[in-house]
Amino acid sequence: MTTKTVTIDEADRQLNKASEHLTNLKAKILDKGPGAVSAEELGDAAHAVEHARLTVQHAAEAAEAEAKRQRLARLQELKAEILDQAGDVDAALDAMRQIEQAAALLISTCSGRQKLIGKWTQALRAAGVPRYEAGGKIRTHVDGRTYGPATQLTDEHAGMGWTEATMGRGDTVHVDDRKLTQLSPGILIAAALERAARAAGYGIGHLAPIVEVQGHAQGAVDDPETWLRARY
């Protein structure tokens, strides 16, 4: 036997029609007497009303079940979208570990250089290598002797020189055309992360408040090769 599911509106119409018919039969009995409507006819009308009520209930439950089914289907689609676009945790962990390893290398390298630069500066001074300042001013004593920083790196000192620390900068060792100065690995790491954020199409605000590059170090973000070659 095939069961037909009707809509709530259709079921309501059937109930209204059956209820109206039953009401009319009752009114007819009251108006014309019991012989105007048979017991069977009245019973059938009452059964029709009950059947219509059950039909309304069935239609409402069927509509609710269909609404739940459609909702679940939409949630399943959303779930699939989330899982597809959320990314893979293993890939994220692998990327994080690569950043961790690269950062560890920079920290180790920069921290080791800071100790070595101080050591090299002392060794150059002990060997009589003069302080170097490309734009330094040479002064002359009354006896004709000159004093002040070396303004050029010469073969006499193997093309080397040194510059003592100043506020905001540590000792610097000059070797030929290379300037080795102390660097904070945090600047390099922060600059790399800001460049990564830019490359990914996001602003540095997505990394705040952990990472921020300010002041002179902004050059490490805009042109890292030039900035680093002048200091490393």
pLDDT tens digits along 59-90: 999 999 999 999 999 999 999 999 999 888 88
Residue 77: the pLDDT is: 97
- One-letter-per-residue 3-state SS of 29-92: HHHHCHHHCCHHHHHHHHHHHHHHHHHHHHHHHHHHHHHHHHHHHHHHHHHHHHHHHCCCHHHH
Residue 227: the pLDDT is: 82
Residue 54: the pLDDT is: 93
Residue 112: the pLDDT is: 87
Task: State if pTM tops 0.75.
Answer: no
- Delimit the domains of the chain by residue range: 8-85, 110-229
Residue 153: the pLDDT is: 87
At a CB cut-off of 8 Å and minimum separation 6, what does 58 contact? 5, 11
Residue 228: the pLDDT is: 84
d(CA 232, CA 228): 6
Q: 3-state class of 188 per DSSP?
A: helix
Average pLDDT of each block of 10 consecutive residues along the chain (232 residues)?
75 92 92 91 93 93 94 97 89 90 92 89 92 72 60 90 80 90 86 86 70 71 85 80
Residue 101: the pLDDT is: 95
What CA dihedral angle connects 185, 97, 191 and 201, to 10 degrees?
180
